[in-house]
Chain A
């Protein structure tokens, strides 16, 4: 293990209320759910946090329920739990599709939806899905509960409106009208951080979001509006290039990402 663990501290809450109280009184503490990126960051030096709060045991934050038109997924629901859910497969197939392409079985059994959001990677595979589904993120502190539209959640690279004394407790999905679409482009069919990832909903009001092409997940609203108003695909692809800002990095180049994003848009718009 390349990181010394002796300087690390882990608080063990007895309940969700206890966890929220500890966050308020003993912060800053980083909540730990499935931990699939924690030791990676600690070893690589990108995660400098040393004080952690173990929320893995808070079963209140698990479960998938439907209330009328709204599907509510607990933040600690794992990707395996999402994939197994008949409700999700029927009503949010793009979320199941994204979950299937995260890591591999071992990662899917531990990684959680709340963790994917909180980690805030620009390449997070569920994030474009949440953006086009127009999901709501439920945040709780000891004193309040609030729901933030997912599209307003991030304020910058790995930065969000989540306060240090808040935990993501659930994600709520309204009924999705239209055909759901998801593609992830990477080096292999598993265990790959994407070069480009895209989710879309095809309808009279198309919704399209990309990951790995900007510091955060990006809803390409001008591209959506162009397609909705009858622009040609070429015109929409041109507008798309103005709405994304990919970089060269270890996984891909800006040039390749722009090329692939345009092709994904074409596939999405042509299928149907």
Chain B
């Protein structure tokens, strides 16, 4: 059934991967269905909510808007790529950055993509594409700041 499609090869969470799916299948669906990585969520399907955020070649993108053919040869990182050990993940859990958790994978990856030592203004701008219905965002900014404080202490 899917063997009629050409393989699309990319690096997923630092591992070489190849999928034989329709080239226009959304990267979001490929990650969740073909790669079994359900940490990336669909919130809107139109690039407005950021729940589907992944990092492609170092840049945060909405995976609901990317045809999988366009990540051929690229490096893709999902929330699973942080292995549960990233300081941001610990900080979100410890400092109330997550309530229901549906926005959390996207929020964390958007924060990762910000780069080191962002100001609060840069955090607000960098996360403006990620919507949360639960926290009112203060817990998210607090978790990011606390995570930063910890990284500076090292």
A103 part of interface (Cβ distance < 8 Å): yes
Shortest beta-carbon distance from A265 to chain B in Å: 28
Q: Per-residue CB proximity of B45-72 to A under 8 Å, as 1/0?
A: 1111010010010011110111101101
Name the contact of B129 in the complex, choosing from A40, A52, A80, A107 (C-beta under 8 A). Answer: A107
Q: Per-residue CB proximity of A36-50 to B under 8 Å, as 1/0?
A: 101110010000000
State whether B65 touches A110 (Cβ < 8 A). yes
Closest to B70 in A: A56
Shortest beta-carbon distance from A19 to chain B in Å: 14
Grouping DSSP codes into helix (H, G, I), strand (E, B) and loop, the A interface class, with mixed when no group exceeds half, is loop
State whether B67 touches A106 (Cβ < 8 A). no
A interface size (C-beta, 8 A): 29
**In the assembly, what is the distance between CA of A109 and CA of B125, in Å?**
14
State whether A35 touches B69 (Cβ < 8 A). no
Interface contact tally, CB-CB below 8 A: 86
Name the contact of B53 in the complex, choosing from A2, A39, A106 (C-beta under 8 A). Answer: A106
Q: Per-residue CB proximity of A1-36 to B under 8 Å, as 1/0?
A: 110011010101000000000000000000010011
Residues on A close to B: CB < 8 A? 1-2, 5-6, 8, 10, 12, 32, 35-36, 38-40, 43, 52, 54, 56-57, 80, 103-107, 109-110, 189-191
10 nearest A-B pairs in the assembled complex, by CB-CB distance:
A104-B129, A190-B128, A109-B59, A10-B23, A106-B62, A104-B128, A8-B24, A106-B129, A56-B70, A40-B46
